[in-house]
Amino acid sequence: MSEQPKDDDVATGWTKQGFDRLLTVHRPVVLAHLRSIRKRNPTASPEEVIRVLEKRYVAAVTAGGAATGAAAVVPGVGTVAAIGISGAETVGFLEASALFAQSVAELHGVATSDPERSSTMVMALMLGPAGANLVQQFAGEVTGTAGPRSAYWGELVTKRLPSTMLKALTDRVRKSFVRRFAARQGANVVFRAIPFGVGAVVGGAGNRIAGQRVVKSTREAFGPSPSSFPDEIALPDPPKAVGG
């Protein structure tokens, strides 16, 4: 009998395929994304900008899932090809999640310039309550205290956790994430490849639920919206009128 792959082997395999790179976005791209939203909504408060980010994110991942499912009804696109398309959509889901999570972090004044911290944050957010518990449990082990469960843990991962401790947390989060994400996406890929239009419904609905979970996790990780914008995404002052 063939030996079942261990969790460590699965996590390593995904990493070799560039898995981690999908979970981080270069900071200048994140800041440019936020500035573009602010330019379109110059009077919006930080809370309103976050709501715009949430709506865009959920809409994007929902459309991606539905479009992938719809491919199964296109003449000439077989099940195998549809599954291949679904794999590409999974990449889009991860990248959209990374951009959304890092954008929210930046709005809270947390710089996302460290790729390892950013990818760890995104994986923990996508795990939902399990990710929050894992981070808080790890923090308790490091400090020797349990710590309040209601504490906002987003800043802990992206800023306050010492660099010497980060790799241990990243490894722990990645193993849990890969195990759960691979299992969930494996089932979703098959469902999205079901023909006769059923895949479009399942794909869009499944991605919408997953996106809403990420939104909920992000709110719990960073807490209430800040009262002001960080300097990095401040809008330039309007030009002063010149008197005649």
pLDDT digits (tens, 9 = 90+) for 190-224: 334 334 333 343 445 677 888 898 999 999 999 99
pLDDT at 52: 95
8 Å CB contact between 212 and 40: no
Decide if 243 is inside a domain: no
Average pLDDT estimate for 28-43: 93
Other CB atoms within a 10 A radius of the CB of residue 114 amount to 16
Return all residues near 69 (Cβ < 8 A) that are at least 6 apart: 191, 192, 193, 194, 197, 198, 199, 200, 201, 202, 203, 204
Amino acid 89 reads: E
Q: Which helix (H) or strand (E) holds 203?
A: helix 198-222
Decide if 1 is inside a domain: no
Q: How far apart are CA 34 and CA 42, in angstroms?
A: 11
Question: How high is the mean pLDDT of the chain?
Answer: 73
8 Å CB contact between 177 and 20: no
Decide if 6 is inside a domain: no
Q: Is the pLDDT of residue 166 over 80?
A: yes
pLDDT at 16: 42
Domain that holds residue 41: 22-225
Q: How confident is the model at residue 182 (pLDDT cuts 50, 70, 90)?
A: low
- Structural domain count of the chain: 1
